[in-house]
C-alpha cells in the first residue's frame, strides 16, 4: 500500500514537473532566481528618480488645460503673442497713517526694477480714496519693469518685501511658484500621515508582522519611481503632482496584498520558499491584472475629457498603476524571499473579525433591501443632478488657509475685489476704440475701463488724442518753432512728405506718438529741453512705452474692463455675451476675444457639460465590457455597475443636501475612481459567491463570501478613506480639498453598499445570473487515445482505466474527450512510467482509485447527479422532501 502511494506521488510529481516547464512558470522562476539583478535595477532607477523628480515643471494655472477651441485659450494665446504682461503685485500695509503711506509709496517707487506704484491722493474722490486707503490700511499696486515670467520680477518683489519688513504687510501676486510650493509642502505632510495609516491598517489586517516591510517597500518604490518618471511629460498640473502619490497607494494596495496572500497559501501547502514565490506569482499575475483592468479603465475615461486636466491626471495615475503592478511582479518576489523567515517568526492571529451576521442579515432581508435600494437610487440620482457645481475658487472655502490666501482675504476684506476681463479688439483705430470704451462705461455692469484711448496724459488730453503743433506746444510749454520742426521731422520719418509741403501747422499726430518721438530726438541731441521738462518727458516716455506694450499689439489692442458683477454667476456669463454683441456695433464681424477668470469659468462650465456625460458613459462601458468577459455573464456586470452607480449618485447628493458648492473637477475625477476602483470590492464578493454556489446553498455562500472579502475590502478601503480625509482636511487648495472629501465619502458609501445591498441583489438575482451566463466559443480538439496516456489540462469526456493523479493524470486505458486546454498525448506503452512502476496499481487499486467513468450511474444520490441542496423551494426536482437545483455541465 505504501509503495503504491509513493509510486502514485512520483507520477503526480512527474506531471507537475511538466507544468513547471510552462512559459509563465519559467518567467516567474527567472524573476525569483534573478532577484539580485532586479534589486540592482531598482536601485539605479530610484537614484535616477531622485534627480528627475526635481526636473518636473508644475503648472499652477488650470486655464492652461482648456481646449484650444475655447475663447479663453484662443485669447490667452493671442495675448501672449501680441502683448507684454508685466509682473505686478498688490501690497497692503496694515496699521499705517496716510502720511506714512505716502512715504512708503516713494520708497517703493525709488527702488530699481519698479516701474510704477499706484496709490491715491488725499484730495481724491471718496470712492477712489477708499480703494487705496481704508481702515488704517494702505493698498499699493506695484508694477515691475519685467515680464511676469521673468525671474527678475520676483527678485524685485522680494527686495520690496525686505524694504517693508518692519511693517505689517500682506502680498497678493501671481509671480513665482509660491502656490505650488505651499501645496507640495502640505502634501508631503499628508504622505507621512498616510504612511502611518498604512502601517497601522496592515498591523491590524495582516497575519504576520513580517509582511509589513514587504508591502511598504513595494508601495514606496513604486511611488518614488512614478514621481521620477513624471519628468518624461515635461509639465504636469499641480493637481496631478499633489494627489497622484496618495491615490497610487490607495488604488494599488490590493495588488501587493493579493500576491502576499497567495504566497502564504502556497507556504501553508508545504512548498519551500522559492517554489512558493514562483507558484504564487504565476497564480497572482492573471488575478491581479484582471483586477487592475477595471481601475485602469475608469481612469482611462478621464483621457476623453475635453478639459485637459483629465488627460493629465488620467495618464499619470494609469502610469502609477502600471508601475505598482511592475513593482509587485518584479520587486516583491525578491522581498518575499528575503523576509520569508521574518514572516514565519512573526505570525499572529488576524484581528479582522468574521462578519457572518452581515450574510445572515442579507439573506433574511433579500426581498426588502433591493426595493429600498431602488428608491434610494432614484432619489439620489435626482439630487445628484442638482449638485451645486462651481468652476472657480471665489465661492469655495478650505479648512486651512495658507499665507497667500490669508493675504488675499485681508486685502479683499479692506478693499474689496476686482473682477477684470480683457477685451481684445482689432488694433489701429483709436477713434473706434474710444467710442467702444465710452459705450461700455455707460453700462451698470462695468465699473470702469482701461485702454489707450481713455488714458489721460495731461490737461484732459488722452494718449490717443491727435494734437496739432500748436496744441502740443501749449501742452508742454515748448517753443512753437521747435515743435513745428519736430512735427516736420516726424512727418519725414513717417514718409508723409505732403504734410511738410501742404503746411505742417494743420498736421495732427497722436499725443503718445509725439511724446515718444520728442524723447527720442531729445536723447539724440536734436532737441534741447529744460531739466524739469526733460524729467517729466522721461517719466511719460517710460509709462507710455510700458502702457503700449501691455495694451497695443501688432494687430490687436487690449482693453481692460473692470466689472461690478461677481466672478461667477449666470448674470456675469450673460454679460460676457453682451460684450460680444456690443463689439459688433463697432467692428462688424471681426473676431474679438473676452479673456478673464469669468470667461475661463464659463468655458469650464461648457466643457463640463460635455465631459460629465462622456466620462460617465465611457467609464461605465469600459468596466461593463471587462466584467462581461470576466464573469461570462450578461446580468451580473449590470448588477454590479448599478450598485456602484448608486454609490456615485449618493456621494454627489450630499453637496445638494448640505448646500455646499463643489468644484466641478472633483466630481469628474472621483466618479471615475469610484467606478474603476471601488467596483473591485463588488467583484471580490461576487466572484467568491459564484464559486461557492457550485457546492453550497445561497445562505452559506453569501456568508462565506462576505467573510472572505471583508479583510481585503477593509484594508484597501480604510486606506482610501483615511487618505481622502487627510487630503480634505489638511490642504489649502480648493480643487484638491474637493477631491479628498468626495473620495473619502464615496469610498465609504461604496463599501457600505457592496457589503449590504450587493449581497441581497446577488441572492435575489441568483437565477438571473445563471440564465445570463454564457460560454465564449473556443476551438476544441477531440482526442480518442488508448494505451498509456498522459493527461495534462482541462478536459470533458470519459476516462476508463486506472487513474494515477488528480487534476493531472496518467491514464492506463481509453481516453475519449474534448480537450478544453492542455494536452492529451499517448505515451510509450511500457510498464515503467515517469512516476514509477504501476503494475500493482492496475491489479490492486487503492481505495477510491480507478473509478472515473461518466458522472454517476442510475440510483446515485442527487448530489452525484449534479444537484445541490436548495432551501427556497422554487426549483425543479424534488426527492424525499428535499429540493434540488440543477448545475450546468461546466460546474460539475
Q: Count CA atoms within 13 Å of residue 516 on its CB side.
A: 14
Provide the grid cell at 846: 487503492
Task: Please tell me the predicted confidence (pLDDT) of residue 804.
Answer: 54
Tell me the sheet residues that pair with 425: 557
User: Distance between CA atoms of 278 and 286, rounded to whole angstroms?
Assistant: 14
Give the DSSP H/E element, type plus range, for residue 255: helix 238-268
Distance CA 616, CA 230 (A): 27
Residue 552 φ then ψ, to 5°: -130, 120
The pLDDT score that the predictor gives to residue 811 is 66
Map grid coordinates 496716510 to a residue. Answer: 98
- For cell 515635461, what's the residue? 234
What confidence score (pLDDT) does residue 379 get?
A: 95
Q: Contact, 72 vs 606, CB < 8 A?
A: no
Task: Tell me if 625 sits within 8 A of 617, measured CB to CB.
Answer: no
| CA dist list (Å): 220 to 101, 245, 325, 713, 840 | 53, 9, 13, 21, 57
Per the CB < 8 A criterion, the answer to whether 686 and 766 are in contact is: no
Looking up cell 531622485 gives 50
How far is residue 786's CA from residue 783's CA, in Å, rounded to a whole number?
Answer: 10
Please answer whether residues 241 and 230 qualify as being in contact, where contact means their C-beta atoms are separated by less than 8 angstroms. yes
End-to-end CA distance of the chain: 30
SS3 content of the chain, % helix, strand, coil (to 5): 60, 15, 25
Beta bridge partners of 793: 822
Q: Where are the beta strands (DSSP E) in 514-598?
A: 556-563, 593-596
What are the residues whose beta carbons fall under 8 Å from the beta carbon of 175, sequence distance 6 or more?
Answer: 87, 89, 148, 153, 154, 157
Q: How far apart are CA 606 and CA 466, in angstroms?
A: 44
Nearest-5° angle of CA 456, CA 513, CA 150?
80
Distance between CA atoms of 803 and 846, rounded to whole angstroms?
10
Run means of pLDDT, 10 residues per run, the chain, 892 residues: 43 42 81 93 93 85 83 90 89 91 91 88 75 89 89 91 91 82 84 85 84 89 91 86 81 83 84 89 85 83 85 90 92 93 86 86 89 93 91 86 87 86 89 90 90 81 85 82 84 75 79 85 78 80 84 90 90 92 88 91 87 84 83 84 91 92 88 82 85 86 89 86 89 88 92 92 84 64 70 66 56 62 59 45 43 38 39 39 38 33
Nine-digit cell string for 790? 498522459
The C-alpha cell that represents 469 in the structure block: 503743433
User: Can you spell out the DSSP letters for 654-707?
Assistant: HHHHHT--EEHHHHHHHHHHIIIIIHHHHHHHHHHHHHHTTTS-HHHHHHHHHH
Alpha-helical (H) ranges within 697-805 are 698-730, 734-764, 766-771
* Cβ-based neighbours of 579, under 8 Å, separated by 6 or more: 421, 423, 440, 561, 594
For 128, 144, 244, the CA distances from 138, given in Å and listed in that order, are 13, 19, 41
Query: Which residue in the block uniquely carries the three cell numbers 452559506?
Result: 700
Buried b (16+ CB within 10 A) or exposed e, 521-547: bbeeeebebeeeeeeebeebbebbebb
* Of 379, 328, 368, 187, residue with least CA distance to 759: 368
- Position 884 scores a pLDDT of 38
- With 0-12 CB in 10 A as exposed, 13-18 as middle and 19+ as buried, what is 659? exposed
629 neighbors 685 (Cβ within 8 angstroms): no
Q: Strand pairing of 509-510 and 235-237?
A: unpaired
pLDDT value, residue 809:
62
Say if residues 248 and 187 touch (Cβ distance below 8 Å): no
Q: Is 111 helix (H, G, I), strand (E, B) or coil?
A: coil
Taking a C-beta distance cutoff of 8 angstroms, is the pair 510, 464 a contact? yes
Q: How many Cβ atoms are within 10 Å of 305's Cβ, its own excluded?
A: 27
Say what the pLDDT of residue 607 is: 86
What's the burial of 280, exposed, middle or buried (CB within 10 Å: 0-12/13-18/19+)?
Answer: buried
- Please name every residue paired with 189 in a beta bridge, in sequence order, or none if there are none: none
Establish how many alpha carbons lie within 13 A of residue 500's alpha carbon, considering only the half-sphere containing its beta carbon: 13
Query: For the range 367-372, what are the long-range contacts, defined as Cβ-Cβ under 8 Å and sequence gap of 24 or more?
Result: 367/764, 368/760, 369/756, 369/757, 369/760, 369/761, 370/757, 370/760, 370/761, 370/764
Smallest CA-to-CA distance from 183 within 92, 248, 245, 233 is with 245
- CA-based angle 223:224:228, to the nearest 5? 120
Find all residues with CB under 8 Å of 87, minimum gap 6, and list them: 143, 144, 146, 147, 148, 150, 153, 154, 156, 157, 173, 175
In the prediction, which pLDDT does 852 show? 39
Residue 440: all three cell numbers together: 461700455
Q: Residue 300: its pLDDT value, please?
A: 86
Amino acid at each position: 500500500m505504501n509503495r503504491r502511494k509513493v509510486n502514485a506521488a512520483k507520477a503526480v510529481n512527474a506531471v507537475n514537473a511538466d507544468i513547471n516547464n510552462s512559459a509563465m512558470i519559467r518567467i516567474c522562476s527567472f524573476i525569483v532566481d534573478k532577484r539580485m539583478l532586479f534589486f540592482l535595477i531598482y536601485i539605479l532607477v530610484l537614484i535616477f528618480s531622485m534627480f528627475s523628480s526635481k526636473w518636473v515643471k508644475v503648472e499652477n494655472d488650470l486655464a492652461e488645460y482648456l481646449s484650444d477651441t475655447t475663447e479663453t485659450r484662443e485669447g490667452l494665446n493671442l495675448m501672449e503673442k501680441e502683448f507684454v504682461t508685466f509682473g505686478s503685485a498688490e501690497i497692503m500695509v496694515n496699521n499705517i497713517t496716510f502720511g506714512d503711506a505716502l512715504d512708503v509709496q516713494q520708497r517703493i517707487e525709488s527702488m530699481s526694477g519698479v516701474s510704477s506704484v499706484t496709490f491715491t491722493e488725499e484730495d481724491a474722490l471718496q470712492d477712489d480714496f477708499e480703494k487705496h486707503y481704508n481702515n488704517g490700511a494702505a493698498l499699493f499696486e506695484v508694477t515691475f519693469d519685467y515680464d511676469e515670467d521673468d525671474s527678475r520680477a520676483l527678485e524685485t518683489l522680494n527686495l520690496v518685501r525686505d524694504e517693508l519688513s518692519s511693517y505689517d504687510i500682506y502680498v497678493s501676486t501671481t509671480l513665482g511658484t509660491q502656490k505650488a510650493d505651499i501645496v507640495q509642502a502640505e502634501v508631503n505632510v499628508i504622505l507621512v500621515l498616510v504612511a502611518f495609516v498604512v502601517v497601522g491598517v496592515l498591523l491590524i489586517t495582516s497575519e504576520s508582522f513580517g509582511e509589513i516591510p514587504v508591502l511598504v517597500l513595494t508601495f514606496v518604490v513604486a511611488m518614488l519611481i512614478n514621481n521620477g518618471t513624471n519628468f518624461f511629460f515635461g509639465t504636469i498640473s499641480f493637481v496631478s503632482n499633489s494627489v497622484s502619490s496618495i491615490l497610487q497607494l490607495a488604488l494599488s494596495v490590493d495588488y501587493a496584498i493579493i500576491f502576499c496572500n497567495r504566497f502564504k497559501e502556497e507556504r501553508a501547502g508545504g512548498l519551500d520558499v522559492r517554489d512558493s514565490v514562483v507558484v504564487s506569482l504565476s497564480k497572482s499575475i492573471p488575478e491581479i491584472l484582471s483586477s487592475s483592468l477595471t481601475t485602469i479603465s475608469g481612469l482611462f475615461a478621464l483621457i476623453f475629457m475635453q478639459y485637459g486636466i483629465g488627460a493629465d491626471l488620467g495618464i499619470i495615475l494609469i502610469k502609477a498603476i502600471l508601475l505598482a503592478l511592475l513593482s509587485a511582479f518584479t520587486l516583491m518576489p525578491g522581498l518575499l524571499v528575503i523576509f520569508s523567515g521574518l514572516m514565519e517568526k512573526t505570525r499572529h492571529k488576524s484581528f479582522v473579525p468574521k462578519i457572518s451576521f452581515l450574510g445572515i442579515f442579507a439573506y433574511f432581508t433579500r426581498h426588502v433591501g433591493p426595493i429600498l435600494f431602488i428608491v434610494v437610487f432614484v432619489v439620489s440620482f435626482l439630487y445628484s443632478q442638482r449638485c451645486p457645481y462651481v468652476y472657480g475658487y471665489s465661492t469655495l472655502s478650505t479648512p486651512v488657509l495658507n499665507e497667500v490666501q490669508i493675504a488675499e482675504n485681508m486685502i479683499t476684506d479692506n478693499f474689496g475685489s476686482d473682477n477684470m476681463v480683457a477685451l481684445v479688439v482689432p488694433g489701429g483705430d483709436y477713434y473706434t476704440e474710444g467710442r467702444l470704451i465710452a459705450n461700455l462705461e455707460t453700462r451698470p455692469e462695468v465699473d470702469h475701463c482701461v485702454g489707450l484711448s481713455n488714458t489721460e496724459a495731461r490737461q484732459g488730453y488722452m494718449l490717443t488724442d491727435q494734437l496739432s503743433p500748436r496744441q502740443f506746444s501749449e501742452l508742454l510749454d515748448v517753443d512753437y518753432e521747435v515743435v513745428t520742426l519736430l512735427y516736420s521731422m516726424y512727418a519725414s520719418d513717417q514718409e508723409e512728405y505732403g504734410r511738410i509741403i501742404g503746411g505742417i501747422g494743420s498736421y495732427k499726430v497722436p499725443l503718445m506718438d509725439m511724446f515718444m518721438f520728442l524723447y527720442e530726438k531729445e536723447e539724440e541731441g536734436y532737441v534741447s529741453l529744460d531739466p524739469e521738462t526733460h524729467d517729466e518727458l522721461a517719466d511719460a516716455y517710460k509709462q507710455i512705452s510700458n502702457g503700449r506694450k501691455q495694451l497695443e499689439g501688432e494687430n490687436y489692442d487690449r482693453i481692460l474692463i473692470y466689472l461690478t458683477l461677481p466672478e461667477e454667476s449666470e448674470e456675469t456669463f450673460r454679460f460676457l455675451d453682451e460684450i460680444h454683441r456690443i463689439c459688433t456695433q463697432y467692428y462688424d464681424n471681426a473676431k474679438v476675444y473676452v479673456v478673464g477668470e469669468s470667461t475661463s469659468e464659463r468655458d469650464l462650465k461648457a466643457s463640463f457639460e460635455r465631459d460629465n456625460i462622456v466620462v460617465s458613459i465611457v467609464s461605465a462601458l469600459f468596466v461593463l465590457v471587462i466584467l462581461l468577459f470576466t464573469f461570462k455573464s450578461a446580468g451580473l456586470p449590470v448588477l454590479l455597475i448599478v450598485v456602484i452607480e448608486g454609490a456615485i449618485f449618493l456621494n454627489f447628493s450630499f453637496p445638494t443636501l448640505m448646500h455646499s458648492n463643489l468644484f466641478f473637477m472633483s466630481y469628474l475625477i472621483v466618479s471615475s475612481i469610484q467606478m474603476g476602483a471601488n467596483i473591485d470590492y463588488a467583484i471580490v464578493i461576487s466572484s467568491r459567491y459564484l464559486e461557492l454556489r457550485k457546492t453550497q446553498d445561497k445562505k452559506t455562500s453569501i456568508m462565506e463570501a462576505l467573510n472572505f472579502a471583508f479583510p481585503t475590502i477593509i484594508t484597501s478601503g480604510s486606506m482610501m478613506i483615511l487618505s481622502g480625509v487627510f487630503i480634505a482636511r489638511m490642504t489649502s487648495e480648493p480643487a484638491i480639498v474637493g477631491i479628498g472629501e468626495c473620495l473619502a465619502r464615496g469610498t465609504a458609501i461604496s463599501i457600505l453598499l457592496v457589503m449590504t445591498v450587493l449581497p441581497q441583489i446577488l441572492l435575489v438575482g441568483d437565477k438571473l445570473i445563471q440564465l445570463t451566463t454564457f460560454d465564449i466559443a473556443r476551438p476544441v480538439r477531440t482526442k480518442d487515445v488508448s494505451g498509456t496516456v498522459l493527461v495534462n489540462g482541462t478536459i470533458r469526456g470519459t476516462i476508463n482505466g486506472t487513474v494515477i493523479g488528480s487534476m493531472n493524470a496518467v491514464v492506463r486505458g481509453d481516453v475519449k474527450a474534448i480537450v478544453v486546454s492542455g494536452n492529451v498525448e499517448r505515451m510509450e506503452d511500457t510498464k515503467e512510467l515517469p512516476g514509477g512502476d504501476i503494475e500493482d496499481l492496475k491489479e490492486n487499486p487503492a481505495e477510491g482509485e480507478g473509478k472515473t467513468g461518466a458522472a454517476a450511474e442510475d440510483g446515485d444520490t442527487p448530489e452525484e447527479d449534479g444537484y445541490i441542496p436548495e432551501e427556497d423551494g422554487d426549483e425543479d426536482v424534488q426527492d424525499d422532501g428535499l429540493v434540488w437545483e440543477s448545475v450546468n455541465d461546466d460546474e460539475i
